[in-house]
Structure 1
Amino acid sequence: MALGYRFAEYIPPEDSKPSFETLLKLFLQLVTISSGDVAEALSWLSSLDKQYNLTSDEYGIGDFIEDLKRKGYLDENPQERGSFSLTAKSEQDIRRSALEEIFGKLKKGGQGTHATPHTGIGDEASTDRREYQFGDALEQISMTDSIRNAQVNHGLGEFRLTEQDLEVTETEHKTQASTVLMIDISHSMILYGEDRITPAKKVAMALAELVKQKYPKDTLDIIVFGNDAWQIEVKDLPYLEVGPYHTNTVAGLELAMDILRKRKTPNKQIFMITDGKPTCLKIGLNYYKNSFGLDRKVVNKTLNLAAQCRRLKIPITTFMIATDPYLQQFVDEFTKVNNGQAYYSSLKGLGHLVFRDYGRNRKKSF
């Protein structure tokens, strides 16, 4: 008897409508794109619901909003009914969502430089135990303690082992790293019909969450640069927007070097996410700007700082999300002067490259 396939019309199950968790994932994506504008994100969600029938008669967008408030994701402005702001819980979930989206799909492999969620596992096991967290390696799980927890939590009648039962052995890292992540917020990051700032934000949030979970002794500072440069907190990332700015790479590098100068860790590095060339300098109280071609006055100052970072043993890894040949030529020269690394990445591959290099660089002394 020959084996074959039998095809029939697919009838989705009645309970296929998204649950709160499914809608929450979509909402967190939208609120990141809207730079923390809850009203705009909910408006987009309503439009998607109208177009794709995301909800049902039993559970609508209004029910979802009430659940967001009840579960601590939104605060309602008492002075203006219907006006909401994100809570700290939402901000943390946005970071976790970014980590899972960018990093969680990668599988553990053999030795090498591949990006995996297990890169940088601690060198030595300690006697400390803690709850399982996203990204922990299987070999860290303490099976004896985990099975004991399952028996306590679920009883002896039927053995079940859930994620909540798992305990892992904490590890200690022999190396520590201080990283400054520079994000370009010049106007070109949203020009030409391409949203480049949202992927950059997601990478920054995911990296921040990874450092918090896996490398608690490391430091990660985030700065943004346009006409000027300034430091921002991790909690500010969902609200980050581009401005009508030029690209003052010099200001960004100077601030990054100042931050790293105060760090006492053995490994120091700068990651820079940008889509363009330096076009701006601040001279005294005035700005020198030139967007046409590669202005040697701006470029030479930028290259001088790259060389200075090299002398201080601070490598710069540049993630260029643009493909113009003359921009690549500048990045090649910048990288050669610093003895750093450069990647010409699509937005889709940006997160993988950042995570790979973070895990690889923190293991070596610069």
Structure 2
Amino acid sequence: MLGFQFSDFKPDEKKNTGFEKLLDIFQQLLLIFSGNVSEALAYMNDLDRQYKLTDDKYGIADFIDELKEKGYLTEAEGDGEMIMTPKSEQSIRKRSLEEIFGKLKRAKSTGNHRTAYTGSSDENSSDIRSFQFGDSLDQIAMTESIRNAQINNGMGDDLVIYEKDLEVTDRESNIQTSTVLMIDISHSMILYGEDRITPAKKVALAMAEIIRTRYPKDTLDIIVFGNDAWQISLKDIPYLEVGPYHTNTVAGLELAMDLLRRRKTKNKQIFMITDGKPTCLKEGIRYYKNSFGLDRKIVNKTFNIAAQARRLNIPITTFMIAQDAYLKQFVHEFTEINKGRAYYSNLDGLGGFVLEDFERNRRRKVK
């Protein structure tokens, strides 16, 4: 008789060890404290005293020893201060990907982005069309072609198939995509008791990991912008800190477009995580700053750069993590000029919005 056989449930022992539970908390704290191991561990001690994270069998000192043994921490030369290792940095990227985007299965064919154009490529679509000169033999849809021949030429024993009877499975063009992710590190990203920079760092780490694992042919450049803008490497992200900066959105966009000009790919896009208010321009060696509102001089320059990106067919997607009505209006106008997209996201939903738009932009039409 068919049926089901049950057995006792045995939870994943690895994920329920004291080490694994504490590692998850520790990695969160490393991002919050910008990679400062000492501060993260000190805070863990406070949490342990308050919430009893450990017991008599496994304590924080045991956890620290195991972090060293497993290669997550090492001692810096000279002062002996504990610092993160590349293994620790990689682990934080993977954890950010799982937290924000879920446990995504690696695609069978990696490195491809779909565009609206059809033609010669690696992947068949579900569409059937008439044969055209240049189509390969392996594209011929035999069932549909034979049916057309029977209808057009009769059902005799000697079936003849003409070119007009042939139908083929269409193919979709797969191309690489170049993305620049911009992160606002101005002082407003930690104002009003809200930590906006840590979620932004998590999104950047998760984006880097998803591109590295699912789309290895793509490129991702990451830049930060305050009074100025500069490019950072992947390993720098956990250590990012907000500075005493204004928001020079123009400098960030100019650098992003300069990086994309060097890329030979057709699909290009900019993702910008910001609180939505540009407050600074650089004029020669002088900074023009106005933190009290949307200064017309700064706004117009920002609108000009949005129009320039549109002419280069570079959409800008703005992820705004502030809810002020006048800032929403500015972002709306900026987006209209660029013909890009804007999301007014809370911090919890930020990662999901980024992934959704990243996947959507993979399918946009490239001129």
TM-score (norm. length: structure 1)? 0.77
Report the alpha carbon displacement of residue 329 of structure 1 after superposing the two structures with TM. Answer: 0.6
Q: In the TM superposition, what is the alpha-carbon distance from 1:293 to its structure 2 partner? A: 1.6
Three-state SS of the structure 1 residue aligned to 2:222 is strand
Query: Contact between 2:107 and 2:214, CA under 8 Å: does it hold in 1?
Result: no
Structure with higher Rg: it is 2
Contact 2:34/2:241 (CA < 8 Å) preserved in 1?
yes
Mapped partners of 2:234, 2:364: distance in 1? 26
1:181 counterpart residue number: 181
In structure 1, the partner of 2:250 is 250
Q: 1:119, 1:17 → 2: CA distance?
A: 31
**Aligned match of 2:94:** 96
* C-alpha separation in 1, matches of 2:303 and 2:209: 32
| Equivalent residues, number | 297
The answer to whether the 8 A contact 2:37-2:83 is kept is yes
Q: What corresponds to 2:83 in structure 1?
A: 85
Q: Is the 8 A contact 1:187 1:246 kept in 2?
A: yes
**AA aligned opposite 2:37:** V
Q: Secondary structure at the match of 2:223?
A: strand
Give 1:80 shift. 2.8
1:364 Cα shift? 2.4
Task: Report the equivalent of 1:60.
Answer: 59
- Return the letter of the residue paired with 1:315: P
After superposition, the C-alpha distances for 1:109-133 in whole angstroms (9 at most, x for unaligned) are: xxxxxxxx879975757xxxxxxxx
C-alpha separation between the residues in 2 aligned to 1:286 and 1:27? 42
* 1:31 aligned onto 2:30: yes
Give the superposition deviation at 1:18.
4.9
Describe how 1:271-286 pairs up with structure 2 within 5 A: 271-286=271-286
Question: Which structure 1 residue ranges, 5 or more long, are not aligned?
Answer: 1-14, 109-116, 126-171
Q: Distance in 1 between matches of 2:77 and 2:300?
A: 53
Shift of 1:76: 1.1
Q: Aligned partners of 2:282 and 2:334: how far apart in 1?
A: 20
Aligned match of 1:46: 45
In 2, Cα distance between equivalents of 1:272 and 1:21: 33
Deviations 1:69-116 (A, max 9, x none): 1111001135334x201000000000000000001168x9xxxxxxxx
Which amino acid letter does the alignment assign opposite residue 67 of structure 1? Answer: E
Q: What is the SS of the residue equivalent to 1:191?
A: helix
SS for the counterpart of 1:273 is: strand
Which letter maps to 2:22? L
Do residues 228 (structure 1) and 228 (structure 2) align? yes
The answer (yes or no) to whether the contact 1:175–1:363 under 8 Å persists in 2 is no
Rounded to whole Å, the distance in 1 between the matches of 2:318 and 2:78 is: 45
Tell me the amino acid that sits aligned with residue 33 of structure 1.
Answer: I
Shift of 1:176: 1.0
Residue aligning to 1:358: 358
Alpha-carbon distance in structure 1 between the residues aligned to 2:276 and 2:341? 16
Give the Cα–Cα distance (whole angstroms) in 2 for the partners of residues 304 and 235 of structure 1: 33
State the Cα distance separating 1:225 from its structure 2 match.
0.3
Whole-angstrom CA distance in 2 between matches of 1:205 and 1:105: 15
Q: Report 1:246-325 matches (<5 A).
A: 246-325=246-325
Please provide the CA RMSD for this pair. Answer: 2.3
Structure-2 separation of matches of 1:232 and 1:26? 26
User: Is the contact made by 1:188 and 1:276 (CA closer than 8 Å) also made in structure 2?
Assistant: no
Aligned amino acid, residue 285 of structure 1: I
Q: How does 1:187-202 map to 2 (within 5 A)?
A: 187-202=187-202
Could you tell me how far apart the structure 1 residues matched to 2:280 and 2:213 are? 37
Equivalent residue, structure 2, for 1:8 = none
SS of equivalent residue, structure 2 residue 360? helix
Measure the CA separation in 1 of the matches of 2:302 and 2:101: 32
CA gap 1:320/1:74 in 2 versus in 1, 3 angstroms: same
Q: Separation in 2 of the partners of 1:120 and 1:351?
A: 24
Q: Cα 1:63–1:186, aligned 2, differ >3 Å: closer, same or farther?
A: same
Q: Distance in 1 between matches of 2:323 and 2:267?
A: 30
Cα distance in 2 for partners of 1:222, 1:40 equals: 26
Which string of whole-angstrom CA distances, capped at 9 and with x for unpartnered residues, describes residues 255-311 of structure 1? Answer: 000000000111000000001311100000000001122111000000000000000
Alpha-carbon shift at residue 34 of structure 1 (Å): 0.4
Alignment partner, residue 9 of structure 2: none
C-alpha displacement at 1:230, in angstroms?
A: 0.2
Q: In the TM superposition, what whole-angstrom CA distance separates every residue of 1:110-162 from its partner, at most 9, and x where no partner exists?
A: xxxxxxx879975757xxxxxxxxxxxxxxxxxxxxxxxxxxxxxxxxxxxxx
Deviates more, 1:200-209 or 1:53-62: 53-62
CA contact (8 A) 1:222 1:234 kept: yes
Mapped contact 1:223–1:232 kept (Cα < 8 A): yes
- Contact 1:18–1:55 (CA under 8 A) maintained in structure 2: no
Distance 1:67 1:267 in 2: 45
Q: Taking structure 1 as reference, are residues 17 and 357 closer, same or farther at Cα in structure 2, changes over 3 Å only?
A: closer
Identity over the aligned pairs, expressed in percent?
68
Structure 1 distance, partners of 2:333, 2:15, is 54
**Which residues in structure 2 correspond to 1:104-123 (within 5 Å)?**
104=102
Gaps of 5+ in 2: 1-13, 115-121, 124-171
Cα distance change on mapping 1:65 and 1:299 into 2, 3 Å = same
